[in-house]
């Protein structure tokens, strides 16, 4: 019980304007301590999870609220971030499990709170539930090899980008973006290959040269050899 008490952040220590924003925010907001325990969560987070706040505080976030098949990958990567072994990812998508057993896809934005020695003590994440947004017809997908060569695209991606499969197959995925976004994706692509997943916002160039701003995530799958899967949806 004493350990649990030390893991929570006292709301009395948080300035009133920040507390008000935290409580009223219409997105899930979660603070984790350096042992992966929930130190703070806002009412919207409790609502999405379907738990009372008292059922969440002090619990291991990854063991209690993530799907079994995602726990180890996300937890291990989080440990590497906190230990300073990898550069922190400020945006990514992952799933959570609600009290009723439903799986929700959350788009996370993260910041990291450090002590006077620069060590990460807490992570603050704000998450938007994008479960419905990622369902067809919003869900587009491109499969690439580890060099970025496009192997396949689904029908949704074809329709959004206005390319036929024969026009897009064999291209490097970086060719489909504006120069600035292509440069950013090359860096993000390396992170996906190295860590297994990543998230980003980029600008596609459609066949008619119109620019389509998208929020995307990438996952490394082993399907007949290693592939990188980039999924995306328009930013509305």
Instruction: Clarify whether residues 205 and 226 are in a common domain.
Output: yes
DSSP lists the bridge partners of residue 216 as 200, 232
In a domain, 66, yes or no: yes
Rounded distance between C-alpha atoms, residue 236 and residue 53, angstroms: 31
Instruction: Clarify whether residues 103 and 154 are in a common domain.
Output: no
Distance of alpha carbon 203 from its chain centroid, rounded? 18
In a domain, 148, yes or no: yes
In a domain, 155, yes or no: yes
Confidence at residue 224, expressed as pLDDT on a 0 to 100 scale: 64
Q: Which residues contact 208 (CB under 8 A, 6 or more apart)?
A: 162
Instruction: Clarify whether residues 120 and 148 are in a common domain.
Output: no
DSSP letter (8 states) at residue 87: P
In a domain, 145, yes or no: yes
Instruction: Label residue 4 by pLDDT band (50, 70, 90).
Output: very low
Rounded distance between C-alpha atoms, residue 28 and residue 127, angstroms: 5
Instruction: Clarify whether residues 121 and 147 are in a common domain.
Output: no
Which of 95, 129, 163 finishes a domain?
Answer: 129
Confidence at residue 213, expressed as pLDDT on a 0 to 100 scale: 87
Instruction: Clarify whether residues 17 and 48 are in a common domain.
Output: yes
In a domain, 134, yes or no: no
Instruction: Clarify whether residues 59 and 85 are in a common domain.
Output: yes
Which of 99, 129, 159 finishes a domain?
Answer: 129
In a domain, 20, yes or no: yes
Helix (H) or strand (E) holding 230: strand 226-234
In a domain, 135, yes or no: no
Q: What is the mean pLDDT of residues 27-52?
A: 93
Confidence at residue 137, expressed as pLDDT on a 0 to 100 scale: 52
Range of weakest confidence among 14-23, 134-143, 223-232: 14-23
Instruction: Clarify whether residues 37 and 149 are in a common domain.
Output: no
Instruction: Clarify whether residues 88 and 167 are in a common domain.
Output: no
Instruction: Clarify whether residues 111 and 162 are in a common domain.
Output: no
The CATH number given to whatever domain includes residue 71 is 3.30.450.20
Instruction: Clarify whether residues 152 and 225 are in a common domain.
Output: yes
Q: Is the pLDDT of residue 138 over 70?
A: no
Q: In what order do the strands lie in the sheet with 91-97?
A: 38-41, 28-33, 120-129, 103-114, 91-97
Instruction: Clarify whether residues 144 and 119 are in a common domain.
Output: no
Q: Is the pLDDT of residue 2 over 50?
A: no
Residues 105-131: pLDDT tens digits? 998 888 888 878 878 888 889 999 988
Instruction: Clarify whether residues 158 and 219 are in a common domain.
Output: yes
Number of domains making up the chain: 2
Rounded distance between C-alpha atoms, residue 83 and residue 110, angstroms: 16
| Domain that includes residue 182, residue range | 140-234
Which of 77, 103, 129 finishes a domain?
Answer: 129
In a domain, 163, yes or no: yes
């Amino acid at each position: 019980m004493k350990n649990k008490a030390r893991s929570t952040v006292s709301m009395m220590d948080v300035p009133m304007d920040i507390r008000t924003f935290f409580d009223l925010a219409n997105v899930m907001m979660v603070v984790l301590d350096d042992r992966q325990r929930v130190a703070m969560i806002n009412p919207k987070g409790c609502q999405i999870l379907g738990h009372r706040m008292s059922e969440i505080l002090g619990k291991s976030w990854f063991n209690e609220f993530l799907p079994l098949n995602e726990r180890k990958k996300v937890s291990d990567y989080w440990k590497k971030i906190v230990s300073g072994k990898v550069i922190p990812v400020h945006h990514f998508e992952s799933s959570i499990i609600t009290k009723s057993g439903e799986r929700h896809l959350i788009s996370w934005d993260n910041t990291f709170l450090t002590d006077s020695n620069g060590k990460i003590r807490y992570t603050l994440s704000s998450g938007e539930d994008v479960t419905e947004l990622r369902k067809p017809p919003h869900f587009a997908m491109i499969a690439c090899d580890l060099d970025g060569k496009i192997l396949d695209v689904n029908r949704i991606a074809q329709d959004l980008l206005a390319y036929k499969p024969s026009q897009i197959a064999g291209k490097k995925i970086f060719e489909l973006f504006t120069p600035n976004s292509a440069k950013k994706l090359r860096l993000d692509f390396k992170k996906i290959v190295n860590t297994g997943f990543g998230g980003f916002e980029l600008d596609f160039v459609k066949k008619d040269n119109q620019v389509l701003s998208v929020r995307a995530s990438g996952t490394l799958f082993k399907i007949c050899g290693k592939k990188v899967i980039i999924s995306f949806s328009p930013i509305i």
